[in-house]
Chains A and B, each alone.
Chain A
Amino acid sequence: MPELLIRNARIMDPFNELDEKMDVMISRGRIAALAKELPVQGRESIQAEGMVLAPGFLEIHAHLREPGKEDAETLESGLESALRGGYTAVCCMPNTDPPLDNAAIVEGIAAKARDLGLADLFPVGCISRRREGSELAEMALMHLSEAHVRAFSDDGSGVADSGLMRRAMEYVQAFDGLLISHAEEAALSRGGQINEGTVSTEMGLKGIPALAEEVMVARDLLLAEETGCRLHLAHLSTARSVRMLREAKERGVRVTAEVTPHHLLLSEMDIAGYDTVFKVNPPLRTPHDVRYLQEALADGTIDAIATDHAPHTIEDKEKEFDYAPFGVVGMESAFPVLYSELVLAGGLDPMRLIALLTSGPARVLGLQPPQYGAGIVEGARADLVIMDVENEWTLDAKRFASKGRNCPFHGRRVKGRIRCTLKNGGVAYRLAEAGSG
């Protein structure tokens, strides 16, 4: 592999608390040198003046649909989508068909992703067999497998049986496993379409109350406190959930949490004309919840941003509201919308945003180098992203690498764009035309 020089980028690396303008030399897949001015000497170089260079992002919550729903997404299209969004590593959720509930299937998925050679893949395994919520899946065997699964979730639905959840929390401590909770009490949410409140009442759609999430967040926090298990709360959407999270952290509970870009930037007020692109679970909540989530992001209560990337075919989404599936695609829109809205418009520290996409999720998962997270230091694997923070453009879901077109930010004017993603020192994605789009 030839040497590559990235010149004059502002390097922002939360792993090493680095924020400095420098040149980076990449050789044989690794960062070979890092200095104020490195000699060009005929090397291939990327002029990154005015751009930001950061460690490649880590997505800890994506639905890549393989196996079972390859018309909606495949490992290949999903991991391509990741690279375009600046992500060099992705955790895929196990609610596939069949679900990722045993060692053989997670090994198969992991091996396929390795062969693709795109972004790294860390599969999440099921908590329960067939994701049915009645018996434990073979979590230790998934952990010991080649896929080295470290996190488990029945994501897509909550674990309704408190006894099973408690036993799972006790059991995974044998190998310090992480349980990811999709907090949703089905008895409270069943049949619901959007947040229960003014908008659901006005639109005549069955509501999903905030309580459906909060009841299970409360339960899982209690179970984690009692058992000592590491717990991660996926896609938190309500102010009260965040309040409970904060209190639990203060008590010393081993808990982390993520929020999604859509819950941070959209509310139920944005649902217009029964457009199913806004149908997502948990649902878009109130403007009050949105403000609360943004504050919790800035003050450190929230550990990571995850997109809950959930591609669906056009035919599936273009249905009557009740019949359409939940979910939005997220990886290719995440950085531009977050940078535009939270950093430029909202005043969030850009280093904090990058941390929420890199070191934050790495800490959630307990990922260490060499798997992920060495950051930008000499000798580290060159998994990097270059962001053009001056580029103003219009998001166009039709041009995504993901098969999913269900992006609620489609058509939005944004500032900040992934210019280039490097994986193992190679250019894995590069924006075709400077300033195009």
Chain B
Amino acid sequence: MAERRHLLDVDDLDREDMERVLDTARSFSEVLHRPIKKVPSLRGKTVVNLFYESSTRTRMSFEVAAKRLSADVLNFNVSTSSVEKGESFKDTALTLEAMGVDAVVVRHPVAGAPWLLRQWLQAAILNAGDGMHAHPTQALLDLFTMQERLGELQGRTIAFVGDILHSRVARSGIKACRAMGMKVLAVAPPTLLPPVALEGVVTGSDLDDVIPHCDVLYMLRIQMERQKEGRFPSLEEYTRLYQLNMQRLGKARPQVVVMHPGPMNRGVEIAAEVADAPHAAITAQVSAGVAIRMAVLFLLLGGSEGGEKVA
């Protein structure tokens, strides 16, 4: 991955690259447990968080990661409502280019936006989520979390449950899990499944059928607007059929890991008791987020070449 300049989606990485990121993240997660949680690896480098969608959690996670590596961080938030009249995406990119930044972390509501940036910028591009397309650092932090809980992932089974159709978390997550040799299931009402089954994924619409066979239950956030679009009749009906509640958890394997990319709708896709149960790895995912983003920034910005000790 040393020769790679960007992280746009997980298929930029082969399994070896992924293991490298995960290993690097593990050393960084030790840093995070020290009293002084900072290493000088990226001193003098500038990282811009270019966010066209408000996501405090993801932005903060990248910001913390960059600061722990001693990089300078600039936050550039563009509200989507002002996009139409405001500066064009290209002009914003050219401005960043002129400022000579080293990395741009981009979150954008339109799929493919990071691919445009890559054409216009010399800087490293990190995709922090583009439309319903990809969210590679989320996928990597999910692998990290699963490895912490389960050890070897080869042969394990994960079910993504909920709005697969609109989920960049699921799209990248599925690719990452498949690359690690996991069996991947997708469970949702047919109206929230992609029109064409994703490669190598077994799809279904009956959550109760699937639960006993899974090592990981990955609950996706359901957006209220999907009901208005007529993709399901009511939140009540959705909750009844697809919520992970204590009763359903009781049918799962004892060591099952429950995950969620956040922010959760407690009481909708996940019952509050489940979110707080020991099976849930949701806060572990948040900590993993910082370590993974440190690792990715470190590896992309050439922190590896000097043989500098990571931690």
Contact = CB atoms under 8 A, between A and B. Distances in A.
Nearest to B165: A201
Contacts of A273: 112, 115
A204 B112 CA distance: 8
Contacts of A16: none
Interface stretch (B67-75, B130-138, B266-274): B130-138
A406 to B, nearest CB: 15
A315 interface: yes
A204 B195 contact: no
B194 interface: yes
B248 interface: no
A204 B111 contact: yes
A99 to B, nearest CB: 23
Interface residues on B, range: 20 to 34
A323 interface: yes
Contacts of B168: 204
Interface centre among A203, A204, A206 (most CB of B within 10 A): A204
Interface centre among B108, B130, B168 (most CB of A within 10 A): B130
A205 B116 CA distance: 15
Interface stretch (A29-37, A70-78, A163-171, A192-200): A192-200
Interface centre among B83, B115, B171 (most CB of A within 10 A): B115
A320 B113 contact: yes
B110 interface: yes
B56 interface: no
Given A315-B88, A319-B89, A201 B198 contact: yes
Contacts of B196: 197-198, 201
B88 A321 contact: no
A322 B131 contact: yes
Nearest to B108: A320
Interface residues on A, range: 20 to 34
Contact of B111 (A197, A319, A322): A322
Contacts of B113: 274, 320-321
A315 B168 CA distance: 28
B88 A274 contact: no
Interface of A is mostly: loop
Interface centre among B88, B108, B134 (most CB of A within 10 A): B88
B195 A321 contact: no
Contacts of A274: 111-113, 115-116
Interface in B118-171: 130-134, 168, 171
B90 interface: yes
A203 B133 contact: yes
Interface centre among B111, B113, B130 (most CB of A within 10 A): B111
Nearest to A274: B112
Interface string A200-243: 11011111010000000000000000000000000000000000
Given A273-B112, A274-B116, 10 more contacts: A198-B196, A203-B133, A204-B111, A204-B112, A204-B130, A205-B131, A209-B195, A321-B113, A322-B131, A323-B110
Return the 7 tightest CB-CB contacts between A and B, nearest first: A204-B133, A274-B112, A320-B110, A204-B111, A201-B194, A322-B110, A204-B132
Interface of B: 83, 88-90, 108-113, 115-116, 130-134, 168, 171, 194-196, 198
Interface of A: 196-198, 200-201, 203-207, 209, 273-274, 315, 318-323
